[in-house]
Structures are given as structure tokens and as C-alpha cells.
Amino acid sequence: MLYPNPQRVTSWLVICPVGAGVLMLGLQGKVAFVFGVASEDSIAWAICEKLAEAGVTLYLGFQKRFMSRVFQLKEKLPAIAGLYPLDVASDELTAEFFAAFAAENSGVKADILIHAIGFAPRECFDRPIIFVEDEQINTAMTISANSLQRCLRHALPHLNPGSSTITLTYAASTRYVPSYGIMSMAKAALECWTRELACHLGPEGHRINSISSGPIPTLAAGGIPGFDRILDHVAANSPLRRNVSQDDVAGTAVWLASHLSSGVTGQCIHVDAGFSITMVPESIMDS
């Protein structure tokens, strides 16, 4: 059906006597855990802003080294109700976040979990992939991929039924991108975790999806050699002839968090100005 069913719209109006914008998303009064704010360039920063705009109360998990930036965001967004340190490198440190949250917010449960976490040690990028050592590979996989399962395992007792979890991935999970190295393997594993967890938790109504973002200059992206050239290539050759912004990604995250995406789980949604559908760059036709 191409047009909204007027009867449906009427019943929504009766059920939700609130403003029209909020009515559509239905996120007013929901609660979110957001992990991954490091600076105002962080994708998670933009997601916080958009979720707050939609009426969501936020509880942030942050790495201590980024504390000042996270407090800056708290000053800007009254919707942030709590901030607690989080390090997903270990089970104990992940548990500490949820213990601190529960101690201060008895009975509060979340509806949304944003996992915008990625890290690989410098040594992963300063040598050919064949020489990267187990310890570095394991760190990258634990923090960038396996931490989704770790976060969800600890979060489950604090999640309402029918929650929505969103993680951030990159298209190097399925195709070669120069210098992305070990993060390609981590993103492939992260997308696999998304499908596994979606199937495992789906029967209880929980949804888990990933957003595959196009390249965006952030602190994490700064660690990828040649990142500026990737940005230029995408801007010149994506169907929309531009790069995506943090806001583009945040918009999709809000949609995935809302009831508007209620039938979507285990998916990887590309927010990349369409770049992932191309194969031969348009620029070969120039000359």
C-alpha cells in the first residue's frame, strides 16, 4: 500500500496524545545506553544528539581518557542522566559499568543499546598484515567485535523486552580496502555477531542490527593510513557524490531504535551515499 491507512493514523493519535514528530518515532520516554563517545566528531556523539531530540534518556559508558569530552556533551544535553566509565577490554570492567548504573538507577531499564566501539593497536597498521602478532589481533577482535556479545550479555538484565541494539561496521568486512587490515576481520566478525545475537535474542523480541557507515573523519578513523584518500575517492565516486556525515548515520540509528523498524533484525544497513553498490569507479570514464 502506497498511502498511510487513515484508520491507523487515527488510532495512533488516540494512543499517543503527544506532538506529531514524537508520535512518528515513539521514542519519547525511552532509555538508551550509548557506548563510544570520544569527541564531538564521534558518530556516537551525533547519535546522542538525535536520540535526545527524540525524547530518549541517555546513560553513557565512556573510556576515562575521554572523560572531559563526555562531560562537555552532558552539559549540552540534559537528556544525559548518567555517565559511567566503561572498558570493554575485559569482562570485569564491562560488568563495572552496569554495576555502577544499577547502583544509581534502581529499577531503570533501557530500550536501546548503541555500541559504537572500535579499536586496533597501532602495531596492526605499521606492518604488512602477515606480520601482525596474535596479541594485537586478539585485542582488535575483543574490543571491536566480541565486545558486542560482552556488552549485550551484561546489558540483558537491564533491558526491557523488545529492545533495539545498534552497532557500527564498515564495508571492508566483505571487500578489500587498502590499509584497513585487521579491522576488516573485526568488522566481519562483528556483523556475524549481529546475526548470531539477533537469532538468539529474537524470540524474546530483542533486535540487533548494524549500520555500515561510509568513511567519516573521527579519532578512530585517524588511525587508518591513507584515510583522506579514501574520503576523496568516495566523494568522487559514490552515487550521491559526497561522503556521509555523523548526522546521516545518526538518523538511521534513530530509525533502527524506533518502532518504525520493528520488523528489522540481524541486518547490516549501509549508510554510505550508495558507495557499496558500485564496482567500477565512474572516474574511469573521464579523460
Burial state string for 108-126 with b = 16 or more CB within 10 A and e = fewer than 16: eebbbbbbbbbbbbebbbe
Instruction: Kindly state whether residue 118 participates in binding ligand NAD, applying the rule CB under 6 A.
Output: yes
Longest CA pairwise span in the chain (Å): 65
What does the block give as the cell for 281?
569507479
Strands (E), the chain: 31-35, 57-62, 80-85, 110-115, 159-169, 207-213, 268-271
* CB-based contacts of 7, cutoff 8 Å, min separation 6: none
**Among 164, 194, 218, 258, interactor with ligand NAD by CB under 6 A:** 218
Question: Distance between CA 34 and CA 117 in Å, rounded?
Answer: 10
Taking CB under 6 A as the criterion, which residues in 61-80 touch ligand NAD? 63, 66
Q: Verify binding: residue 83, ligand NAD, rule CB under 6 A.
A: no
Is residue 121 within the footprint of ligand NAD (CB under 6 A)? Answer: no
- If binding is defined by CB under 6 A, does position 137 make contact with ligand NAD? no
Q: Which three cell numbers stand for residue 36?
A: 563510544
Known catalytic residue: 59? no
180 is a catalytic site residue? yes
267 sits near ligand NAD (criterion: CB under 6 A): no
The residue within the footprint of ligand NAD, chosen from 197, 216, 254, 273 (CB under 6 A), is: 216
Q: Does 42 engage in binding with ligand NAD (CB under 6 A)?
A: yes
> Could you tell me which stretch among 22-30, 191-199, 201-209, 211-219 binds ligand NAD (CB under 6 A)?
211-219
Please report, as ranges, the residues that interact with ligand NAD according to CB under 6 A. 36-39, 41-44, 63, 66, 86-89, 116-119, 143, 168-170, 213, 215-216, 218-221
> Looking at the annotation, which residues are catalytic?
170, 180
